[in-house]
Structure 1
Amino acid sequence: MTLTTNQKTTILILLAFIFSIAVRLIWVGQFSNEEQFKFNDEFMINTNDGYYFAEGARDILAGVSENSNDLSPLESALSVLTAFIVKILPFSFETVIFYMPAFFASLLVIPIILIAREFDRLEVGFIAALVASIAWSYYNRTMVGYYDTDSLTIVFPTVLLWSLIWAIKTNEDKYFLIAALDAIAYRWWYPQSYALEAAFIALIAIYAVYQYVKKQKPETNLLLISFMLFAMVNLDGYIRLGIVLAFYIVLKIKRELVFKYLYYILALAVVLFFLTGGFDPILAKLKGYVFRDALKSDANGLGLHFFTVMQTIREAGEIPFEMFANRISGHTITFIAATIGYIWFAYRHPVMLLALPMVGLGVLAYGIPGLFSGGGLRFTIYAVPIMALGLGYIIYEVSNWLSTKLIRQKDRLSSKYIFMTLFSLGALYPNIAHVIEYRVPTVFTQDEVKLLDKLHTIAEREDYVVAWWDYGYPLRYYSDVKTLIDGAKHSGAVNFAVSFVLNSPQDRAAKMARLDVEYTEKRFRVNEANKGLDKNHTNYVKFLSSNIEQMTKDYGYKDTNDFLNSLDEDIKLPAKTRDVYLYLPNRMLGILPTVALFSNLDLMSGKKRVTPFFYISNRVQDKKESLELGNGVSIIKNMGQIQIGNQKLLMNSFIVTEYDNDGVLRKNIQVIDKNSPISVIFMKNYNQFLVLEKKIFNSTYIQLFVLENYDKTLYEPVILDPMAKIFKLKI
């Protein structure tokens, strides 16, 4: 039986899709008996950001129509699509959000195979689909449980690339329409798609100019650019859809008229593109990753300086070449082969140069030495499908060459496929090995989620929980409360207040918590009142760009340092409109120094203050005369001394904390030298030592979580658990 090209294509797509799903189910098999990764007998997700979209989908299903003050993404594409799927399919909400990434991400195999089909190289597409679907960076961001927009963020541009290639090669109108519709859908799904779409257009425009110079006819490419620009104008998605469909209908009915006035239509599209925003969103989204500084200065008001979050995020940091290559192709060797293969592919078929924007974004992860620093891990994902096509191409061509040169005529076809199979298995091996080793846990454990679920029964929907931004989305999802910062709202300006609360003495922390919550709500009310008003309107309310700046002004200060010092006094606080809780998890101990960075600076000058000493150790060597904590830190037995590097000094105090059989925290405190700046805490149940300077020792986080020394006039314990402690603010 001879299969048609369509049948072959369908079979290869199904095989690649099933393979992609099957590899992602390895994680499920590894953790099927791990009860701490489940809640209510369902696997929990393993990415913080996923809880943001889950909150939106949950609220849509619950019939919530407006909640401007709690930031639930009711209009997010992922939330809307999830709610729709839950409504029409007989699966639980938790099952859908857990398996959804694996299903949608595996759709990537379709455009990859279709691209290769256009060059009569289905084998290339099949190999590429297998490799791309499980490549390191793609798998990491689309595995089961990784509920995020990444599940389709690469699928859409790869579909766009396929439609653009087919449009240019065939000049068929339907591919112009498909390209435009994909651009609209891509923007709906991922608004940051603007830059990539613009890069595709720029390349087509360059090719059109080349055609014009060579006195060839560029009209079809200009028509394609017009479709793309109409799809990209910065208007509502439904309006763009209407424009594109209307343009397509006119093209089908009055084709000659469209080409007669094509240059006018293109000019109109260009004008609309720039009038509605042009390139503004492109640079705005990328500059935070490519051009980032340690401090950001607020140009308004007092011109305060804040610590930026970007260099604290691993995915936005610079990466070594080996990691860069591994994340794109699984190994340095396969990456080099893929690069050669792509160049070879593009040399044979120049239309593949259209893929350069995706390759370029991938290179952006590593940067170009001497020109710009890398944008970090997140960008490698864009190069995956293109490099996979390059790898598939070189495997195909080399296998074909080997079979021609080494094998006799009648066995060449079978030998070619044997070579292709062996090379493909070699390319797949490091990626599958990574999948097996990449045993990423869920965001929270079952025990932690039980605490958040309990808080849900205590706190009201309008209450706030002060917590670091890493925990913002899960708190909002499981406890249905508000937070000050989260995975998207975490600029230096908003992080400052939460960092200040966690790292300041209890009185100052309590006042700042109440202030920041009430000012955050006030900002929502002011923004609502200002809607539709010009800034010069008499009813327009001016509110400075950061809460701390507005507080400084409202309390009559011109220097924020003076205002912060006033928190030591009995200042008048805003009227209480809701309850405020502090969420203090054990897992935050490891990032406490990073949290402190955001408030440990002079906001007026941007000058960093001296970082207080803080060290955690849970790998202790008990020697005859000392306890070695690692990194040159040791406790000298029987002398009450701590050695840090070459410096020895008496400890201020040595404290042992331990939970009794009733779960009550017991403390054994030995004061040694009240004048010493260093204290040591041994958290016996956690088997970890804390060596910390006085400022951190007196911080609200250490006093409330580690020692449970809380000011009863300021805080009320709500949940006291070794995993996390939650306190309610009394003021």
Structure 2
Amino acid sequence: MFETANGGLRQAVVITLVAVCVSIALRCVHVKTWNQRASLYYYDGNKPLVTTMDGYYYLRLSREYARGDFGSKDDLSPIGKKPQPFSLLPLLSASVHKVSKIPIEKIAFFLPVILSSLMALIYVAWGMVLGGPFLALASSIVGGSVYYWYTRTCLGRFDTDALIPVFTYGIPYLVYKYTKADTFRAAAPWGATAILCGIAFCLWWLPAFYASPVLIIGTYAISIFAYNRSKTERILKLCVLTAGCITSILVILSYIGLLPQFKVFRPLIGLLSLVTHSAEPAEPSISASISELAPLSLAYFKTYVAGSWAFFVFSTSGFLMLLLSRKKELIFLTIPLLAGFMSFFSRRFLIFLIPLFALSLGYFLHTSGSYLRRRYGPASAGVFAILAIAITAFSVGKRAYTTFIPPRLTAHHVAIAKAVNNGHLPSELVWSWWDYGYFLEYFTEKRVLIDGGSQGGIRPFVAAYPFVQENPAVAARWIRFFAHHGPAGIHKINRYTGGTEKTVKLLEKIFSSPQNLPHLLVIHSFPQKLDWKKYFFPESGKVYIFLPFEMIPATYWWYYYGTWGLKLNGGDPAQALILPPGTVIDGHRGVVFVNQKQLPLASLYIFRDRPEPTLYLDRYFRSSGLLAIIGKRGSYIMTSNLKDSIFFKLLFTPYSVPYFRSIKYIPEYGGIWEVLDGPRG
């Protein structure tokens, strides 16, 4: 089992089947928990929710593909267009639905689990090359059990992550087989398969339009240091490698500002800026607010990947052993390894580092087993193999086995969203924070201002501003204005005010006192030939605002954007938490204990939902400090600058906010309101 690199086809098939079964079983063990909480996590009887908000985008595309709608226009998304010619993930789910008649929602629920198990093919393929059957078995079981990988491929995680590392490590393997073949006739099938996989990768994941050519051509060029069939091939590889190095240097020089940003390089420069958080645009930084773009720390790697410091050390040792003994083979993994090491700038790339961790850890165990076999014989090596795989898989995978990952939103939120689903009406729009855009597009079938694919530029500020606004009239008129004009409306006014901050202040004055509009237009030299009253107070279709209680812990995020326009050096700080069960609130001393810290309270409120939802002041402690709210489902604490915000008022006093008419509200889950053009509608 430890003796050779490579191995028989029968062994590879058996190992792959075992690894696939372990991977699927590890994830499907949580089906029981889903069923136990069916009233929260299933809607319309038996349709499961997805666990990632991006999943609702792919669900919507799946639904449209199943209806035969492959057009490029997207009437619901702010971007206004769909992937062309199609997106492979929703096409796959729609095709399975049409053939099997299984609801798309159930396909979306199980598909990531099945697709992620295909990583076993990669571990077995590279494991056989690097060490043999034991390395293939150990790395495939460990790699499929890593907690971070589990979080990206669990039940309901309807996203593209499941196959991204399959393509990223699989294409170099095909190039390896192509390059190592003795004759072109033997190499051609491998090369053709690599090209087909590259095309499929492009259809699977949008950034692969850049990644696929790099994986195929770049890996082929780098293989000049490993295998060359002829002098001509060596020269060809050298030319390609030189061109690639020059291009990389030009991109880096453009990125750091020593060269102009050539149009062809802009997507790559934008990616580098996002990953390294180096962009300083006129608007708030997007990358700085997205948790998966945060840099990777060793402590995070230990917790989410290795499971313990011991296995981190073993894996690092295994990688060094691979560098010493398998140089030629590792050359073909140069690009995936570079992508993996980018996770130290951005955790989003951690899915590329996990296969390296698993293969390195497997190689360490393989080397240890080989030593035992030589020293003590096959019996001791066999015992070691069983114990090593069992202990390693348990240590690395125990958190995945015991951790249930629920959907972000529940069936109650679905009921709230569907309360305004009266069919697609182009003039209607639902306003919310960007996390919920895809969810609302799917369940309301209405336009949104912002979603997970349109959070650039000024749009996040425009979306978040009404949440922090204290004047209901200003918030409502702001929403109706931008629902009609989009974020471009702010740029048009900037021509006359001279900048975004001045525009925001002008809009506040206009929306709070419409009668002063003529005077304000004169002050700012607006041309009189246009009907500015109609522009600032457009007659548009119905506009709704959707707010879930789930937004409370994300206050730091949207409040930063919502206050940015008032302070260009950054948004005002605000914090809010949904307190975990068992949190102690000392009503006598006016303190709350969070994470072993004692936090002072300014006041304590009771949230009651009958006869109608409202807040009652229970105790006042001091002039400064946090607000605490005790509800039926949970308790909440927040900084005092949230108390007068529209967000706070709508969630805790949903029926008494002027300009906002409640359509559906479920206490401590959230609600949806129609945004009116007057205090009484």
Could you say which residue in structure 1 is the equivalent of 2:350? 380
Paired with 1:77 and 1:98, the residues of 2 have a C-alpha distance of: 17
Paired with 1:362 and 1:183, the residues of 2 have a C-alpha distance of: 19
Deviations 1:538-596 (A, max 9, x none): xxxxxxxx542234337897832442333322153253332110112122122223211
> Out of 37, 41, 54, which is 1:34 matched to?
37
Paired with 2:193 and 2:358, the residues of 1 have a C-alpha distance of: 24
Three-state SS of the structure 1 residue aligned to 2:207 is: helix
Indicate conservation of the 8 Å contact 1:179/1:228, yes or no: no
> Out of 311, 327, 331, which is 1:353 matched to?
331
Deviations 1:32-84 (A, max 9, x none): 31111222223221111111111111122234445433227463221222211
Could you say which residue in structure 1 is the equivalent of 2:272? 286
Kindly state the Cα deviation for residue 286 of structure 1 after the two structures are TM-superposed: 3.3
Change (3 A) 1:687 1:95: closer
Change (3 A) 1:116 1:169: farther
Indicate conservation of the 8 Å contact 2:655/2:661, yes or no: no
1:185-200 → structure 2 map (5 Å cutoff): 185-193=200-208, 194-195=210-211, 197-198=213-214
> Out of 549, 555, 561, which is 2:491 matched to?
549
Percentage of pairs with the same residue: 18
Could you say which residue in structure 1 is the equivalent of 2:296? 319
Kindly state the Cα deviation for residue 326 of structure 1 after the two structures are TM-superposed: 4.3
Change (3 A) 1:211 1:15: closer
Three-state SS of the structure 2 residue aligned to 1:698 is: coil
The more displaced of 608-617 and 127-136 is 608-617
- Correspondence 1:444 to 2:409: yes
Indicate conservation of the 8 Å contact 1:309/1:491, yes or no: yes
Change (3 A) 1:164 1:221: farther
Kindly state the Cα deviation for residue 94 of structure 1 after the two structures are TM-superposed: 1.4
Question: Given residue 441 of structure 1, which amino acid in structure 2 is its aligned partner?
Answer: P
- Correspondence 1:484 to 2:449: yes
Normalised to the residue count of structure 2, the TM-score between the two structures is: 0.81
Question: Given residue 270 of structure 2, which amino acid in structure 1 is its aligned partner?
Answer: A
Question: Given residue 688 of structure 1, which amino acid in structure 2 is its aligned partner?
Answer: S
Could you say which residue in structure 2 is the equivalent of 1:465? 430
Indicate conservation of the 8 Å contact 1:678/1:691, yes or no: no
Change (3 A) 1:634 1:325: closer
Kindly state the Cα deviation for residue 597 of structure 1 after the two structures are TM-superposed: 0.5
Could you say which residue in structure 2 is the equivalent of 1:563? 506
Change (3 A) 1:440 1:565: same
Indicate conservation of the 8 Å contact 1:200/1:354, yes or no: no
1:578-597 → structure 2 map (5 Å cutoff): 578-597=541-560
Could you say which residue in structure 1 is the equivalent of 2:609? 659
Three-state SS of the structure 1 residue aligned to 2:156 is: coil
1:512-661 → structure 2 map (5 Å cutoff): 512-520=478-486, 546-553=488-495, 559-566=502-509, 567-570=511-514, 571=517, 572=533, 573-602=536-565, 606-608=568-570, 610-611=572-573, 621=584, 625-630=588-593, 631-634=597-600, 642=602, 656-660=606-610
1:161-172 → structure 2 map (5 Å cutoff): 161-171=172-182, 172=187
Could you say which residue in structure 1 is the equivalent of 2:309? 332
Indicate conservation of the 8 Å contact 1:180/1:227, yes or no: no
Deviations 1:121-149 (A, max 9, x none): 13321221111122222221111211100
Paired with 2:165 and 2:227, the residues of 1 have a C-alpha distance of: 30
Deviations 1:373-416 (A, max 9, x none): x212x2111022233222222212211211221x2xxxx33432
Three-state SS of the structure 1 residue aligned to 2:30 is: helix
The more displaced of 314-323 and 149-158 is 314-323
Indicate conservation of the 8 Å contact 1:330/1:427, yes or no: no
Change (3 A) 1:668 1:127: closer
Three-state SS of the structure 2 residue aligned to 1:717 is: strand
> Out of 629, 643, 667, which is 1:682 matched to?
629
Could you say which residue in structure 2 is the equivalent of 1:426? 391
Could you say which residue in structure 2 is the equivalent of 1:246? none
Deviations 1:338-395 (A, max 9, x none): 23223323432322222132222222222xxxxxxx212x211102223322222221
Could you say which residue in structure 2 is the equivalent of 1:403? 373
Indicate conservation of the 8 Å contact 1:657/1:707, yes or no: no
Deviations 1:511-544 (A, max 9, x none): 1111211112xx8xxxxxxxxxxxxxxxxxxxxx
Paired with 1:719 and 1:124, the residues of 2 have a C-alpha distance of: 56
Paired with 1:447 and 1:199, the residues of 2 have a C-alpha distance of: 44
Could you say which residue in structure 2 is the equivalent of 1:698? 644
Change (3 A) 1:55 1:461: farther
Paired with 1:24 and 1:98, the residues of 2 have a C-alpha distance of: 11
Indicate conservation of the 8 Å contact 2:112/2:156, yes or no: yes
Paired with 1:379 and 1:364, the residues of 2 have a C-alpha distance of: 6
Could you say which residue in structure 1 is the equivalent of 2:676? 730
Deviations 1:220-247 (A, max 9, x none): 46668999999xxxxxxxxxxxxxxxxx
Indicate conservation of the 8 Å contact 2:419/2:663, yes or no: no
Could you say which residue in structure 1 is the equivalent of 2:14? 11
Could you say which residue in structure 1 is the equivalent of 2:49? 44
Indicate conservation of the 8 Å contact 2:74/2:82, yes or no: no
Kindly state the Cα deviation for residue 204 of structure 1 after the two structures are TM-superposed: 4.2
> Out of 124, 145, 165, which is 1:134 matched to?
145
Three-state SS of the structure 2 residue aligned to 1:728 is: strand
Question: Given residue 590 of structure 1, which amino acid in structure 2 is its aligned partner?
Answer: P
1:238-277 → structure 2 map (5 Å cutoff): none
Paired with 1:176 and 1:15, the residues of 2 have a C-alpha distance of: 29
Paired with 1:556 and 1:622, the residues of 2 have a C-alpha distance of: 49
Change (3 A) 1:287 1:666: closer
1:137-152 → structure 2 map (5 Å cutoff): 137-152=148-163
- Correspondence 1:208 to 2:224: yes
Aligned residues: 615
Paired with 2:576 and 2:17, the residues of 1 have a C-alpha distance of: 54
Indicate conservation of the 8 Å contact 2:430/2:446, yes or no: yes
Indicate conservation of the 8 Å contact 1:12/1:126, yes or no: yes
Three-state SS of the structure 1 residue aligned to 2:278 is: coil
1:497-508 → structure 2 map (5 Å cutoff): 497-504=462-469, 505-508=471-474
Indicate conservation of the 8 Å contact 1:49/1:487, yes or no: yes
- Correspondence 1:707 to 2:653: yes
Could you say which residue in structure 2 is the equivalent of 1:56? 61
Which stretches in structure 1 are left out of the alignment for 5+ residues? 231-275, 298-304, 367-373, 524-545, 636-641, 643-650
Three-state SS of the structure 1 residue aligned to 2:629 is: strand
Paired with 1:224 and 1:24, the residues of 2 have a C-alpha distance of: 43
Deviations 1:257-290 (A, max 9, x none): xxxxxxxxxxxxxxxxxxx976543332232012
Indicate conservation of the 8 Å contact 2:224/2:237, yes or no: no
Paired with 2:299 and 2:618, the residues of 1 have a C-alpha distance of: 50
Paired with 1:728 and 1:596, the residues of 2 have a C-alpha distance of: 22
Indicate conservation of the 8 Å contact 1:463/1:578, yes or no: yes
Paired with 2:547 and 2:170, the residues of 1 have a C-alpha distance of: 45
Question: Given residue 23 of structure 2, which amino acid in structure 1 is its aligned partner?
Answer: S
> Out of 495, 501, 519, which is 2:460 matched to?
495
The more displaced of 560-569 and 479-488 is 560-569
Paired with 1:624 and 1:471, the residues of 2 have a C-alpha distance of: 35
Could you say which residue in structure 1 is the equivalent of 2:661? 716
Indicate conservation of the 8 Å contact 1:196/1:357, yes or no: no
1:90-239 → structure 2 map (5 Å cutoff): 90-118=101-129, 121-171=132-182, 172-193=187-208, 194-195=210-211, 197-198=213-214, 201-202=217-218, 204-208=220-224, 217-220=230-233
